Amino acid sequence: MQPHQQIKAEELTLRLNSNEPLNLIDVREVIEYHTYNIGGINIPLSKLEAALNGLPYNKTDEIIVICKVGLRSETAQGLLKQHGYTNVRNLQGGLIALQKFK
C-alpha cells in the first residue's frame, strides 16, 4: 500500500488564494465547521461512510480531506481509499497549520 498522500498547508494556501476549484471534505463536527472553515463540504467523520454513495466526486478526482489537526482527516483518507478513491490527500497539520499561513 502506498504511503498516505499529504498536502502541506503552504501548498493548499497557494491553491486557495489562486481560486483554484478544489474538492474539499471537512470531516470535523458541524459546530466546528460553522465556527471556522475554508469551504468545501462538511461531512463529520462519524457520518462519512454513510455519505460515500452521495459524494459528488469521481473515484479518480483529487479530494483533500481536512480537520483541525490532521488526525480525523487521516482516518477519512483511509476510509475513502478503502472505497476506491485513488487521489485522496490529507491536509498535513490540519487547519491549525493552515492558519499559520493566513
Q: Give the separation between CA 61 and CA 86, rounded to whole angstroms.
A: 8
* pLDDT at residue 4, rounded to an integer: 63
pTM over 0.85: yes
pLDDT at 102: 64
Instruction: Provide the residue ranges of all domains of the chain, joining segments of one domain with +.
Output: 5-99
C-alpha cell belonging to residue 79: 476510509
Q: What is the tens place of the pLDDT at every residue in 7-24?
A: 999 999 999 999 999 999
CA angle 94, 73, 78 (to 5 degrees): 145
Class of the CATH domain delimited by 5-99 = alpha beta
pLDDT digits (tens, 9 = 90+) for 27-53: 999 999 999 999 999 999 999 999 999
